[in-house]
Structure 1
Amino acid sequence: MNARIPTDLSSSLKAEEDSNHSDNPSFDTVLAARLSRRGLLRGGAGTVGTVVLGGMGLTACGGGDDPAPTTPPAPGTPTETLLGFGAVAKSLADMVVVPAGYTASVLYALGDPLNAGTAAYKNDGTDTGFENRAGDHHDGMEWFGLDAAGKASATATARGLLAMNHEATTDELRSSFFLHANGGTTTLPRPAAEVDKETAIHGVSIVEVQQAAGKWTTVQNSAFNHRLTCLSDNIQLNGPARGNALMVTKYSTTGVQTRGTLNNCGTGKTPWGSFVTGEENWAGYFTRASTDDTARGGATAKSVVSLKRYGRNAGSRSRHGWETGGADDKYARWNVGQSGASLDGSDDYRNELNTFGYIVEMDAYDKTQMPRKRTALGRFAHESAAFGKPVVGQPLAVYMGDDSRGEYIYKFVSTKTWVAADANPANRITTGDSYLDAGKLYVAKFASDGSGSWVELAMSNPLISGYATYAFADQADVLVNARLAADAVGATKMDRPEWCSTNVNNGEIYFTLTNNSNRAIDSASMPPDSANPRVYEDTKGASTSKGNVNGHILRVKEGAAGNAALVFTWDVYVFGAESGAAAGSVNLSSLTSDQDFSSPDGLAFSPSTGILWIQTDDGAYTDVTNCMMLAALPGTVGDGAKKTLSYTKADTTTLSVDTYVGQAPTADKLKRFLVGPKSCEITGMCETPDGKAMFINIQHPGETTAMADIADPTKYASQWPSNAGYGAGKRPRSATIVITKTDGGRIGS
């Protein structure tokens, strides 16, 4: 996520997200189209009819393009038209807006208790016990059905578990001010009580939900309910890096375990029915002393090279100052400087950073099973994990993106081939061991002719074994330092690869490329290329954004070998843009006012309808609309055409780049479905197997509130969801909503 970086943390987070300084070549270079929002015409918002649902914070609306009323079908003969709803207009209101005919209700918000022994949430900064409450920044989410007997069910629609990420907490001067009564401490050291509260709101929730009498509720005292935090004991390290010297810490001197999971963003659901979560921007939680390079042997020491590549330069301060909470070991682990006398790191946390940055697998149904960090899938800023279509006798593929500017797209291919019986195994987590602990990790290279290749990251590749920048010791080292290995083979630098999802209709893989402020015409390291072709300027008030401001969605079609293919073809499904932006250089997908969007982030294909749901985490278009979710019926790779962008560089030379743009989405193929409250991000989507209930996460509403305004609710940037009639207090809270259709139909029809 992290499309928006709080001002006070910009230097820390930007260093974490801008750690790719390799000179990997891009394919073509083009000149920036220097466009100003002030000089562009915007499409009209259309007329809106509004129905209040459960308070002022949740509404249903129909845009100006609502279809004309039709005669209802005769009883017993239901009809369905996908994307038949009226497009929702852009909105700056502090509410969730959905189409006419839909209802949205708040279900599960920050602080909600998971058991009867935990007090109701007061939402005034005095609450404690977050190990048994909903965490903060609800993010990726998956559905796991339960039958009437409380057993796992792939078809259950009225009872189930939501496995949900809690990515982070609102940052302000190292404090999470809405969690604390007076905004928290903004100087170091941080009080232990504040640190303990902040660590507890990170991680994962498993919460039971049910529908009764037409209403969805959480089951507060369910035996399934539990939290996994960044301090949870006994997270198992699996795969090639298990027991490796790079994993040795004071907590696990054998390098086989770690504590907790952190900055969990995107998710996935395995073909055998377990939950996977990605550790995204985890590096910024750790600090290093300014003298630590010297302690480690100098700037060329391997550990120093690795730390810098993952955004932790000497002197890097931590995001929240958790290392200052006290003398206890749980605070010391946030300092990754070399302080001990041992040669292997068994007396300090110099290697702690190496234990984060993985896809983590857990069994949502069985909290006694130890979660696994799957090191075979590589270490980077993981978003979601999308599985290719399982085919009996063929290996499985897992697709992943590294969410930082100029980072890469990856694929893991299992050694084991798919066995049909594993779709319903006796033990889900050990089945994961058999598929996710052995295989090959690849990184993508995109060519300017619309083709691409997967390059294996292995010691057998001489570009890796002979890499001058970093001397890899073994395959575990390659995986732990996957970014450096990808640098070595010349992978294509992308515009912040975030979520990915597999098209249930044809198996093509879609990737959101959220934006990239570092993409620049005259950049030596990150000029435009065919897969990331746009560089332009966008003005909002007194500020100007540069680079690929609005992002795009790229899609890949594997070669004949399917999951194991080493070659692919690609194009850009859609470019984010304002509808009034220049068609030849910015609005390359010809978006209208009912479709335009910026900074695509969350992405998921509905297994029920095949609709592609697109969610945004934007800071560029927020003068016009809050973040949103769109519904799409995309075509296939190659259904559009090649476009050539030609510009003039600063030295007056003319450069051009070919890119490949999917067929422009018509009004019945892409439209806005939802707009969220103020200063939020829309993220996470799952649904019941029949497609009739959809769960969406509203993350960090009101995050632009100034800490100085903590005592005055009238100055909060948002009061959602309290203004929707949910919960105590007026402090904004991340929350899960459930959407249903009033006629009982499937969502998106």
Structure 2
Amino acid sequence: MGHEHGDEPPCNASPNRNFYEVMEARVARRGFLMGGLGALTTGFIGASLSGKPALAQGLSSLIGFSAVPVSFEDTVVVPEGYSIQVLGPMGMPISGKLPAYRPGANTGAEQEHQIGQHHDGIHFFPIDGSSEDGLIAVNHEYIEPRFLHAEKPAYKGKPFNNHGVALDADGRRDDDEVRMEIAAHGVSVYRTTRQADGLWAVVPDPRNRRITAGTPVEIGGPVRGTAHVRTRFSPDGTRARGTLNNCAHGATPWNTYLAAEENWASYFANTDAEVPREHARYGVPGDPRGARYGWHLAKSGADEHVRFDASARGASAAEDYRNEPNTCGWMVEVDPFDPDAAPIKRTHLGRFAHEGVVFAPAVEGAPVVCYSGDDSRFEYIYKFVSDGLWIPGRTDGSILDSGTLYVARFNDDGSGEWLALAPGQNGLTPANGFADLADILVNTRLAADRAGATKMDRPEWGTVDPNTGTTYFSLTNNTRRTQAQVDAVNPRAVNNFGQIVRWNYQDGDHARAHFNWDLFVIAGDARTSSVAPGDALDVDSIFACPDGLWCDRQSRLWIQTDMGDMGPDYEGPLKPFGMNMLLAADPATGEIKRFMTGPWGQECTGVVTTPDGKTMFVNFQHPGAHATAEQFAAGDYGSGFPDYTGAVPRSATVVITRNDGGVIGS
């Protein structure tokens, strides 16, 4: 495990309690044994999670398929009675003159009209309520330059790892390569329809578009127009360029798409002798070549590339890009139905490594409530409650510009509270370094430190059960947590396997400041897992590193895993789990079954169905990422997915249907 590519370095030095400390205090008095999980009790993991007792009470399971086995093959496996199809792979043209995909050889201009690389969050927006015609919005989290440029002379036959880039003798980068890499980031929006033969196809539509790391965007909310975001590009602090490292997403109650900016900090370099706190607390590299892809090193020195050098080079912020990192780390709203609408960064949702955002069911006449995790080791979970009230047909994204941002504290007794990140509350005063609301939001992590939030094990995707209102969050792993740092909600040191936490409110009111929590599942193998007192995951359900979460309309909980770049030669604690996978869980019975496994090197991420539940869309990100530099030089790209022709592997969406036309998972 350790530090995966794309992850930011740990940068939370606060003395706040971590989830392990909470967990330890909660379970110690109930006989919980830290060295094993066999003695968990109902006070720790809810009694309703025990599959056998619940089923004995006459509850019927939501899960109607036969589990697939753990896989070590370079293929996609789904249950008997299901079929798969590949849709929208990286490089597929969707706009402009529809430039053809040329494996490892496209230009930057071509990539600006093609689906980006490394698919992540995804949502299906039905057109006129249809389950056979809609718009797909999909995030592209990051890139693998060697696969984008595999056929170019600087790369072909050369030993490049999965984040390496080519530099010339002067340490500079080719401009068109940088243009292509910028274009391979962001969001793709395209129309897809079910054809007469039952297969889905990408079809031309004026709404098809690419939003890249260079697309002009608006800054909304309390940070708009403040000194924190003034740059040479936007001296008045109202605009920025692009969206970076878009991981998970959120679908709003008013039918727009929110793309999360996650590990954006490492795209920048800063050579200043003293790095400002709004850089340091987020891990912006403090050296000239520290930026992940070195975009600021492009030969031309064009402004759109220089902006990734966040050093103070001018007389004021309006003359350089010292504030460019402050324009990143937000949730970015995209209207998939209006191709002319500029994306908007909704700053009141906070600035951090957003994994995504999940909305509580909207209630007419009540505030809008949403949650987001900060996906880094020892970071936090946040909630936003709007000032405005939800009015169907009238409410739009501006409701996210005014409200209160909170951060979670989990207590030993299974209770929890939301701590307001607002001026004058929880120590957020000018005397303590927080001048106003904009200052708090730009420095969300520091504000959460000050408020006393609970440090978590990489909080990633969240989901809210549309029927019960229960909120779930995946805590993927944390191999850096020591035994002295365990707590009630982060129960393991050297946590290779992760867990899923859930909480509820009195009267189901998500706007409340207090909640009650427990653990839905502690991931692992049969020896190290727990789903209920005395129960453990079995051969049909063992998994590790929960990441993507989504609750469908029938309350079926879908769980995706991110165990890193797993290939056939992997040796380590995650080997028994095989390739990354998708599982289905029934929260009412505790039953969990493995639904799908993917090819070598991929991460299974992003899941949604059509409104009728009969078609599922799932992404496979970075297939072949485990290939070594030596393998790449030899033309061994680690995986054949999805083409299996010897060409470079590509991230893609997989469409899953039941052969009998039924609801997925039932």
Same fold (TM over 0.5): yes
Given the alignment of the two structures, is residue 600 of structure 1 paired with residue 546 of structure 2, yes or no? Answer: yes
Select 2:334's aligned residue among 341, 362, 387: 362
Given the alignment of the two structures, is residue 432 of structure 1 paired with residue 397 of structure 2, yes or no? Answer: yes
Equivalent in the alignment of 1:614: 559
Given the alignment of the two structures, is residue 479 of structure 1 paired with residue 459 of structure 2, yes or no? Answer: no
Q: 1:121 to 1:718 in 2, by over 3 A?
A: same
Equivalent in the alignment of 2:221: 239
CA distance in 1, matches of 2:176, 2:137: 27
CA distance in 1, matches of 2:651, 2:90: 6
Instruction: Identify unmatched segments of 5+ residues in structure 1.
Output: 36-79, 147-152, 295-302, 426-430, 536-546, 636-662
Select 1:278's aligned residue among 253, 260, 263: 260
Task: Please list, as runs of the form range in 1=range in 2, the aligned pairs for 1:9-20 lying within 5 A after superposition.
Answer: 16-20=8-12
Secondary structure (helix, strand or coil) at the match of 2:356 reads strand
Select 1:570's aligned residue among 486, 510, 517: 517
Secondary structure (helix, strand or coil) at the match of 2:199 reads strand
Q: 1:408 to 1:518 in 2, by over 3 A?
A: same
Equivalent in the alignment of 2:48: none
CA distance in 1, matches of 2:97, 2:654: 24
Could you tell me which amino acid in structure 1 is paired with residue 664 of structure 2? Answer: I
Equivalent in the alignment of 1:212: 195
Q: 1:227 to 1:729 in 2, by over 3 A?
A: farther
Equivalent in the alignment of 1:76: none
Equivalent in the alignment of 2:366: 394
Which 4+ stretches in 1 moved above 4 angstroms?
3-6, 28-35, 175-181, 586-589
Equivalent in the alignment of 1:86: 66
Could you tell me which amino acid in structure 1 is paired with residue 558 of structure 2? Answer: W
Q: TM-score, normalised by structure 2?
A: 0.88
Equivalent in the alignment of 2:382: 410
CA distance in 2, matches of 1:141, 1:560: 31
Could you tell me which amino acid in structure 2 is paired with residue 722 of structure 1? Answer: D
Secondary structure (helix, strand or coil) at the match of 1:361 reads strand
Q: Note if contact 2:61-2:586 (Cα within 8 Å) is conserved in structure 1.
A: no
Given the alignment of the two structures, is residue 722 of structure 1 paired with residue 643 of structure 2, yes or no? Answer: yes
Could you tell me which amino acid in structure 2 is paired with residue 531 of structure 1? Answer: V
Q: Deviations over 1:663-706 (max 9, x none)?
A: 8x3xxx21000000011100011111000100100100110112
- Which deviates more from structure 2 when the two are superposed, residues 308-317 or residues 451-460? 308-317
Q: Note if contact 1:395-1:563 (Cα within 8 Å) is conserved in structure 2.
A: no
The alpha carbon displacement at 1:708 in A equals: 3.1
Equivalent in the alignment of 2:462: 500
The alpha carbon displacement at 1:33 in A equals: 5.7
Equivalent in the alignment of 1:445: 409
CA distance in 1, matches of 2:355, 2:85: 27
Equivalent in the alignment of 1:269: 251
Given the alignment of the two structures, is residue 135 of structure 1 paired with residue 116 of structure 2, yes or no? Answer: yes
Q: 1:486 to 1:474 in 2, by over 3 A?
A: same
Equivalent in the alignment of 1:144: 125
Instruction: Identify unmatched segments of 5+ residues in structure 2.
Output: 37-59, 565-572
Q: Note if contact 2:428-2:450 (Cα within 8 Å) is conserved in structure 1.
A: yes
Equivalent in the alignment of 1:159: 133
Q: Note if contact 1:448-1:530 (Cα within 8 Å) is conserved in structure 2.
A: yes
- Which deviates more from structure 2 when the two are superposed, residues 575-584 or residues 360-369? 575-584
Could you tell me which amino acid in structure 2 is paired with residue 563 of structure 1? Answer: H
Q: Deviations over 1:692-729 (max 9, x none)?
A: 1001001001101123333544x332111112xxxx65
Equivalent in the alignment of 1:628: 581
Given the alignment of the two structures, is residue 98 of structure 1 paired with residue 63 of structure 2, yes or no? Answer: no
Q: Note if contact 1:578-1:587 (Cα within 8 Å) is conserved in structure 2.
A: no
The alpha carbon displacement at 1:389 in A equals: 1.5
Could you tell me which amino acid in structure 2 is paired with residue 145 of structure 1? Answer: P
Given the alignment of the two structures, is residue 304 of structure 1 paired with residue 286 of structure 2, yes or no? Answer: no
Secondary structure (helix, strand or coil) at the match of 1:564 reads coil
Q: Note if contact 2:69-2:594 (Cα within 8 Å) is conserved in structure 1.
A: yes
Q: Note if contact 1:720-1:730 (Cα within 8 Å) is conserved in structure 2.
A: no
Equivalent in the alignment of 1:531: 489
Q: 1:216 to 1:366 in 2, by over 3 A?
A: farther
Q: 1:267 to 1:178 in 2, by over 3 A?
A: farther
CA distance in 2, matches of 1:139, 1:205: 11
Q: 1:605 to 1:124 in 2, by over 3 A?
A: same
Secondary structure (helix, strand or coil) at the match of 1:254 reads coil
Select 2:602's aligned residue among 680, 686, 689: 680
Task: Please list, as runs of the form range in 1=range in 2, the aligned pairs for 1:169-184 lying within 5 A after superposition.
Answer: 169-170=143-144, 178=150, 180=152, 182-183=155-156
Q: Note if contact 1:528-1:534 (Cα within 8 Å) is conserved in structure 2.
A: yes
Q: Note if contact 1:575-1:588 (Cα within 8 Å) is conserved in structure 2.
A: no
Equivalent in the alignment of 1:61: none
Given the alignment of the two structures, is residue 191 of structure 1 paired with residue 144 of structure 2, yes or no? Answer: no
Could you tell me which amino acid in structure 2 is paired with residue 576 of structure 1? Answer: A
Q: Note if contact 1:575-1:587 (Cα within 8 Å) is conserved in structure 2.
A: no
The alpha carbon displacement at 1:204 in A equals: 0.1
CA distance in 1, matches of 2:203, 2:123: 19
The alpha carbon displacement at 1:186 in A equals: 3.4
CA distance in 2, matches of 1:561, 1:678: 42
Select 1:706's aligned residue among 621, 628, 635: 628
The alpha carbon displacement at 1:20 in A equals: 0.7
Aligned identity (percent) is: 41
Given the alignment of the two structures, is residue 382 of structure 1 paired with residue 351 of structure 2, yes or no? Answer: no
CA distance in 2, matches of 1:676, 1:341: 52
Equivalent in the alignment of 2:662: 745
CA distance in 1, matches of 2:505, 2:365: 17
Secondary structure (helix, strand or coil) at the match of 2:393 reads helix
Q: Once superposed, what is the RMSD of the aligned Cα atoms? A: 2.4
CA distance in 2, matches of 1:332, 1:466: 33
Q: TM-score, normalised by structure 1?
A: 0.78
Q: Note if contact 1:115-1:220 (Cα within 8 Å) is conserved in structure 2.
A: no
CA distance in 2, matches of 1:722, 1:588: 45
Secondary structure (helix, strand or coil) at the match of 2:500 reads strand
Q: 1:685 to 1:179 in 2, by over 3 A?
A: farther
Q: Note if contact 2:87-2:655 (Cα within 8 Å) is conserved in structure 1.
A: yes
Q: Note if contact 1:116-1:220 (Cα within 8 Å) is conserved in structure 2.
A: no
Could you tell me which amino acid in structure 1 is paired with residue 407 of structure 2? Answer: V
The alpha carbon displacement at 1:306 in A equals: 2.2
Equivalent in the alignment of 1:119: 99
